[in-house]
Structure 1
Amino acid sequence: MILDNNIKLIKRYYHEVWNEGNLAVLDEIMSPKYINHTPGMPNPLPGPEGFKPIVIAMRTGLPDLRFEINDMVVTEDKVAIRCTMYGTHLGELFGVAATGKTVEINQMQVEYIKAGKIVEHWRVSDDLMAQLDHK
C-alpha cells in the first residue's frame, strides 16, 4: 500500500506540477520542510513556497515543459526515477534570454518521502557535453 501511494504521489507531482503547472498541488504533496538539491539552481527557501518560484521560472522559460518518466524504483521512503525533460526555450530562464532551442535532457531524480509528502529532492542531469562546450 505504501509503495502504491508513493508511486501515485510522484506521478501526480510530475504530471500536475511540472507538466500542467498547477502550483497549488505543491501545498498538498510537499512538506513545509522540503529541501531541494538541484545542481545549478538557486538555493530556495524550504517548503512549497521556496519551490514555487523555480517551477514558475522553468515554465516561463520553457512554456511547453514536460517530463516523461522512463523508469521508477520505489521503496517505503523514496522514489528514484529516470526521466526525460522536454521543452522549447521561448522565455528568459534564470537570466538566459530565449533562444528558441528545444531541449531534451535525461535526468535521474530521487524524491524522499515522509508521512505521504515529498521532503527532499536530489537530481543529476546529463550535461557532460555542455560542460565540455560541445555544440
Structure 2
Amino acid sequence: MSDKDLKKLARQHIDLAWNKGHLALVEQFHSPDFLYKSAFTERPLDNLGYRKLVEEIRSGMSDLEVAVEECIREGNKVFTWSTLMGSISRPVLGYPVSDRIVSISAMGFWVFNSQGQVQELCTLFDMESFRAQMGLQNRPFSEKALP
C-alpha cells in the first residue's frame, strides 16, 4: 500500500472509533489476530476488548473529540500523535465526573499486515498532564516505578 493509504487508514480508524463510535466499521480494519496495548489495559486486548474499552471511554466522555496532529509512516508502521479533548460526564476508568474540559496527548504506534489491516495498535497517553488538569494529585515517581 502507498504511504498515503496506510496513513489514511490510521486517520479513518481514529475518526470512526473515537469521534463517531462506529466500532463495527473499525473492526473491518483489523486483522483476525489484532492486538491493542495501552496503559489503560492490564494486558493486550483483542477486537472485542478494544471495542469495549472505546465504548466505555466514549460513554464517560460524551463530548469526546480526537484530532490527529501528526501522522508518519515507515514501511508497514504508522505513528500518530493525537489530542483527545472533552469532559468526563460519567465516571470512567476510575476517574470522577468533572465539568473541566481536558486535553490529553496520545501517541499511537500502528503495525499493518501485508493486506493493509491493523495487526497491532499500541497507545501511550499523557496521564500525568490529564491528572493535573483534573486537579488530581500526581503519583510520586517512586510509586509509579514499583509494581
Higher strand share: 1
Aligned-residue offset at 1:40? 2.9
What letter is aligned with 1:21? G
Q: CA contact under 8 A between 1:84 and 1:107: conserved in structure 2?
A: yes
Give the aligned partner of residue 21 of structure 1.
Answer: 21
- Flag the 1:55–1:79 CA change in 2: closer, same or farther, 3 A: same
For the aligned residue pairs, the C-alpha RMSD in angstroms reads 2.1
Alignment of 1:48-59 (within 5 A): 48-59=47-58
The gaps in structure 1 that reach 5 residues or longer are none
Higher Rg of the two aligned structures: 2
Aligned-residue offset at 1:45? 3.9
- Tell me the distance in 2 between the aligned counterparts of 1:97 and 1:85: 17
State percent identity of aligned pairs.
23
Q: Does 1:106 align with 2:110?
A: no
- Tell me the distance in 2 between the aligned counterparts of 1:119 and 1:70: 22
Aligned-residue offset at 1:101? 2.5
Give the aligned partner of residue 145 of structure 2.
Answer: none
- Tell me the distance in 2 between the aligned counterparts of 1:20 and 1:125: 20
What letter is aligned with 1:121? L
What letter is aligned with 2:70? D
What letter is aligned with 1:24? A
Q: What TM-score, normalized by structure 2, do the two folds share?
A: 0.80
Q: Deviation per CA, 1:32-58, whole angstroms, max 9, x where unpaired?
A: 211111013343542x22211011001
- Tell me the distance in 1 between the aligned counterparts of 2:59 and 2:44: 17
SS of the aligned residue for 1:26 comes to helix
Q: Deviation per CA, 1:44-84, whole angstroms, max 9, x where unpaired?
A: 542x2221101100100111111111111112311101111
Give the aligned partner of residue 67 of structure 1.
Answer: 66
The gaps in structure 2 that reach 5 residues or longer are 139-147
Q: Does 1:35 align with 2:39?
A: no
SS of the aligned residue for 2:28 comes to helix
Give the aligned partner of residue 90 of structure 1.
Answer: 89
Give the number of aligned pairs: 133
Give the aligned partner of residue 124 of structure 1.
Answer: 124
Q: Deviation per CA, 1:14-43, whole angstroms, max 9, x where unpaired?
A: 111110110111221012211111013343
Structure of greater relative contact order (alpha carbons < 8 Å, 6+ residues apart): 1
Q: What TM-score, normalized by structure 1, do the two folds share?
A: 0.86
- Tell me the distance in 2 between the aligned counterparts of 1:30 and 1:14: 13
